[in-house]
Amino acid sequence: MGKLLKIEIPYNKEQLSIEIAKEKVIGVIEPNDVVVSGTAGAMVLEALDSVNGSETFQEFLDAPGKLLVIVNDGTRPTPTRFVLDVIADTLEAANAEFIIATGVHRGPTREEYDFIFGKHYDRFSGKVHVHDARNKEEMVYLGCSSNGTDMAINRLGVEFEKLLVIGSVEPHYFAGYTGGRKGILPGIAAYRTIEQNHKHALHPDARALVLTGNPVHEDMMDALKILKNRIFGIMTVLEKNHKIYGVTAGDIHTSFYAAIEKAKQVFVAEVESSADIVVSVSRYPMDVDLYQAQKAIDNGKLVLKDGGILILVAACREGLGEEAFVNLLSSSTSPSKVMETIKGKYILGYHKAGKMAEVFERAEVWAMTDLPDDDLRKIFIKPVKDLQNALETALAEKGPDAGVIFLMDGSVTVPSVKKQNTN
């Protein structure tokens, strides 16, 4: 055995140490190193001062009507609190109210409120609403998208004439990218709207980095077209240590597309070749449950050889997540049966089961989590209790020529194999 390489693997808020022969490591893939220029506050101010192609932030604020600020929930790394450090006084003067864009997630815990709002929570707590997609009485029907999705959103998104969306942009495994329009759909959309939209996740063009021809993205854009509100966006892009790398501002479209260019610089990473074994990490806070951590499986598959082993590392602090995808997987005798069921009937969560089943059909998935072993086995995943041991077992199974890729932030990093120069 050659030189041993020690690697620290993020797990929940701690680190797991493993050792591996250096020649076995094809790559340790993280978001790309980028230069952070300036403080978070300075970047927010610069973005607000250099809006292109739309009204300025001040013009948006001065326009008539009530102001609703849409912010992400605690399962997203969005640095909302740092944006508020700059604009909190302005928002308070404008008598702004807030809504937590939960989509179909639960409402925030107190710890998550503090993560979202930082020192500003007590200041605004009396004006914070939590979206509940299942509360039909709070939803307003607005029409139908070009793909046939019923568009219904939280009444506050209709009643408030001005919407300020604070978001973060990184690759998303079926919406192309997070951020921008996602603040509306799924952020504050009705359950049935989200369900119909997410059914399109199994379309071949519903994948990371793809917007053109992506029916999930098209639905989200249609939601913006149907709304008559003024919508201003402040989008952030984080670097690998979750510091702010870039901030863009302007109308919801301008700010979103400008942030995509920054996100590509951080999150699209190249590796020399695919691997027999991929260790894909879902980092805090995106490790909240398996439903969310699945993104790391989907990105990990991009550099996994057929017949390989993908080892998910994710605490899954709150369990498995949405019941529908678990029930479908656990009640199916094989991954192919999962896909057959989805073709006959779709309910929200089945897209997640379908994406996982696609991986199960061509590779093994193991998982280092806090979940009960039986819960994992029922859904075609092999439980792992010791990551070092699991890695050694996987290498032994795949043979002497096997190599390993470590995807250290698998929920948001999109790996690709370098194109070979044929000249």
* Residue range 197-218, pLDDT digits in tens: 999 999 999 999 999 999 999 9
Q: How far apart are CA 121 and CA 126, in angstroms?
A: 9
Compute the distance between CA of residue 38 and CA of residue 417 in angstroms, rounded to an integer: 33
Establish if 328 belongs to a structural domain. yes
Helix (H) or strand (E) holding 9: strand 4-11
One domain for residues 156 and 21 = no
91 and 239 part of one domain: yes
- C-alpha distances (whole Å) from 214 to each of 208, 218, 349 are 10, 6, 19
DSSP string, 20-32: EEGGGEEEEE-SP
Residue 168 contacts residue 236 (beta carbons within 8 Å): yes
pLDDT at 102 over 80: yes
Is there a domain that residue 74 lies in?
A: yes
Domain end residue (candidates: 267, 284, 309): 267
How many domains in the chain?
2
What's the CATH number where 251 sits? 3.40.50.11440
Mean pLDDT, to the nearest integer, of 48-60? Answer: 89
Kindly state whether residue 422 falls inside one of the protein's structural domains. Answer: no
Q: Are residues 107 and 12 in the same domain?
A: no
Q: Is the pLDDT of residue 422 over 70?
A: no
**332 and 377 housed in the same domain:** yes
Give per-residue pLDDT as tens, 341-354: 999 999 999 999 99
Mean pLDDT of the chain: 95
Tell whether 100 and 236 lie within a shared domain: yes
Is the pLDDT at 419 greater than 80, yes or no? no
Over residues 377-398, the pLDDT tens digits come to 999 999 999 999 999 999 999 9
Residue that wins the pLDDT comparison between 2 and 277: 277
* pLDDT, tens digit (0-9, with 9 covering 90-100), for 293-330: 999 999 999 999 999 999 999 999 999 998 999 999 99
Same domain, 261 and 276: no
Query: Is-contact 291 320, C-beta < 8 A?
Result: yes
Of 218, 233, 267, the residue that ends a domain is 267
Range 243-251 average pLDDT: 96
Residue 70 is part of which domain span?
A: 40-267
Q: Are 251 and 379 in contact (CB under 8 A)?
A: no
